[in-house]
Structure 1
Amino acid sequence: MTRLTRRSALQFAGASLAAATVPATATADESDDWTVVETPVDSTLHDVADTATTPHAVASGGLVIERTEAGWEVVLQGGPTGNGNDLYGVDTTDDGERLWIVGASGAIGEYDVTTGDLIDRSAPNDFTANFNDVAVTGPAGDADVYVADDSGSIHYSFDNGREGTWDYEAPGSGAGFNAIEFYEDRSGHVIDTNGKVFATDDGVTWNAIGIEDAGVTYYGLDSDAADDVRVSGGNASVFTYDGSQWGLESLGDADLFDVETDGDNGYTVGSGGVIFELDGGEWCQQQTPTGENLFAVARGPVDIAVGSGGEVLER
């Protein structure tokens, strides 16, 4: 089958990037097929994460669902505040015991997946912007928490999100942030809607590292190291950063809403049920039994993609 390799992508010096296209890939073998599983919700699932117990996903209407032996079940309704604010982002502590959830109107929650207890951390410093994504480092109960909003601010707490411990930075031009991810304590990346990627190594100071002239909206982010970053976006674009320059692979014409990799393996997912797998550094398109938009993917003992209409795909 035709495959794309990172080595075959065009490389560009510094933070500049010109238009480039790589032919779309063929589909994978049928043995690699994803399957649709039933869920108890029909609202959009925006994000998913594996935890110390089981995978969890968050949805519009403040819903959190959990994968159990009996299938997916609703474990939280109404979100952290109980007001039913849409939930957009999730992340876990390093031990997987706490699931941090964020969403509309300043919603932030700390959910203990081992006990089912929920702590409402919403509206830090009375901010009630829409929170699009969250990144967490450290253990349960003693975590650093970073929340990206749609007004150009990154809110952070180095004391587990407790009241009075929050501060914020606005590193860009005021454009909203779609995704944030950290690869170690106080080191990570964030992407905005104005074509910028920012990096930090202290959790406070952010520096732009590109991507110039990309020409597409950025949606997904995978931050594995200072020199190992991937960004997914419009026109099926996947950008890769090696610490000094960006490379581009164009996989087709879909919007790619999330990317999750580990070295040369992983996935990116997007509009129309599209899933591409990165296998040994080579991208190939997977067969999927859905046409629904897929907004997030998580890797684990069972790989999971989630999206519109409560859609969950498992592999």
Structure 2
Amino acid sequence: MSLTRRALLSRVGTAAVGIGGLSATTDTVAAGHGHGYKHVPTDTGTTLFDVVGTREGPFAVGLEGTMLRRGYEQYHSVTDGFPFDGNTHLYGIDVTDDGRRVWVAGDDGTLAEYDVVTGEFFCHEIVDDDRAFVDVGATGTAGEGTVYVVDGRGHVFYTFDYGGSWKTTMLGHGVPPVALDRFGMRGGLVLDIDGCVYRTVDGKKWEQFTIEELDRYVFDIAGGRYRGGVVGEDGLVICRDREGIDWHVLGDTDLLGVDYRQTDWFGAVVGFEGTLFEFDEEWERFDLATDLPLFGIYVGEYLVAVGDDGTVFEKW
């Protein structure tokens, strides 16, 4: 059974050797500056791992085949386990560029798409074993785009004809991948837990980049061809742009999720103990009314964070 991104989080200790020369930046911003975060009820107590925005509002996925969508006053389940087995955990979610089709991935080779308008599910069987898919990314419009799926064994599965045919490639040196992001029409990023980043612009050739002097585990990646960020243990954030790489330590709490809005590179990160930071030229911390871990963050038309015990926070 392959390790998944979320299983890796539970296995990693909180102790790590510090990076010399880095200072902690933990400025706290509560509800102020004209905005803050509100807790939104859900109809589940299961852990939520990932979240995305669609043309019909945010969707989130988590344990036991749970997928939620935003309703008028709360998030409510659209799956109730179906079409997924109740023991099938869902780890990754993404949406086509037109906001119409949501793709989800998880345990036992689970890969499916959901039409947010009609409510139809479409299941894809691309492996014949019980491997866990760690994350998924989709580009282009529904029915025509590119889809990437990464498993915990270092394989990337991809389709350029929206599931008509699938191919696979092997990345790296046996270290489990933990996250995937996509950009453009065929661009993709994959991160492994030791900090190796793989990048493609055409879906066929993958370049490998090593984060030098990294001495702690990393958990998530977000960005594009030339800009992006990685988060990890002990408040670590690594940001990259055309000018180089910047290292930040935002407190001492493990950071588990990151996302950027690629139109203006406004970003946010989340982690244990309800930790949430925003980035808009500088990092600002928001105090949320929870000490539960937050695993996933979406930054776009909406800004939504999800985590343990069905927890959802939205920016207002």
Asked if these proteins are the same fold (TM beyond 0.5), I'd say yes
Q: Deviations over 1:103-138 (max 9, x none)?
A: 01110001100100001113x142431111101111
CA distance in 1, matches of 2:181, 2:290: 28
Give yes or no for the alignment of 1:21 onto 2:22: yes
Q: Please point out which of 65, 89, 92 is paired with 1:89.
A: 92
Kindly provide the amino acid, as one letter, of the partner of residue 104 in structure 2: I
Taking only aligned residues, the RMSD between alpha carbons, in angstroms, comes to 1.7
Kindly provide the amino acid, as one letter, of the partner of residue 145 in structure 2: A
Give yes or no for the alignment of 1:273 onto 2:299: no
- Give aligned pairs, total: 293
Q: Please point out which of 95, 102, 105 is paired with 2:105.
A: 102
Contact 1:47/1:295 (<8 A) preserved: yes
Give yes or no for the alignment of 1:38 onto 2:41: yes
Structure 1 residue 161, shift from structure 2 partner: 1.8
Question: TM-score of the superposition, structure 1-length normalised?
Answer: 0.88
Query: After the TM superposition, which residues 125-274 of structure 1 pair with which residues of structure 2 at under 5 Å, given as runs?
Result: 125-162=127-164, 165-224=165-224, 226-243=225-242, 245-262=244-261, 263-274=264-275
Identity of aligned residues (%): 33
Q: Deviations over 1:12-43 (max 9, x none)?
A: xxxxxx74413222211432432222111111
CA distance in 2, matches of 1:29, 1:193: 32
Question: TM-score of the superposition, structure 2-length normalised?
Answer: 0.88
The SS at the match of 2:54 is coil
Q: Runs (4+) of structure 1 moved beyond 3 Å?
A: 79-84
The SS at the match of 1:50 is strand
Kindly provide the amino acid, as one letter, of the partner of residue 278 in structure 2: E
Kindly provide the amino acid, as one letter, of the partner of residue 149 in structure 1: D
Q: Deviations over 1:178-216 (max 9, x none)?
A: 111111111121101122011111112211122122112
Q: 1:241 to 1:299 in 2, by over 3 A?
A: closer
Kindly provide the amino acid, as one letter, of the partner of residue 274 in structure 2: G
Q: Which runs of 5+ in 1 are unaligned?
A: 1-17
Contact 2:53/2:302 (<8 A) preserved: no
Q: Deviations over 1:123-166 (max 9, x none)?
A: x142431111101111101121101111111111112123xx11
Contact 1:80/1:121 (<8 A) preserved: no
Contact 1:129/1:150 (<8 A) preserved: yes
Kindly provide the amino acid, as one letter, of the partner of residue 274 in structure 1: T
CA distance in 1, matches of 2:95, 2:31: 33
Q: 1:231 to 1:75 in 2, by over 3 A?
A: same
Q: Which moved more, 1:198-207 or 1:237-246?
A: 237-246
Kindly provide the amino acid, as one letter, of the partner of residue 240 in structure 1: C
Give yes or no for the alignment of 1:118 onto 2:117: no
CA distance in 2, matches of 1:200, 1:301: 26
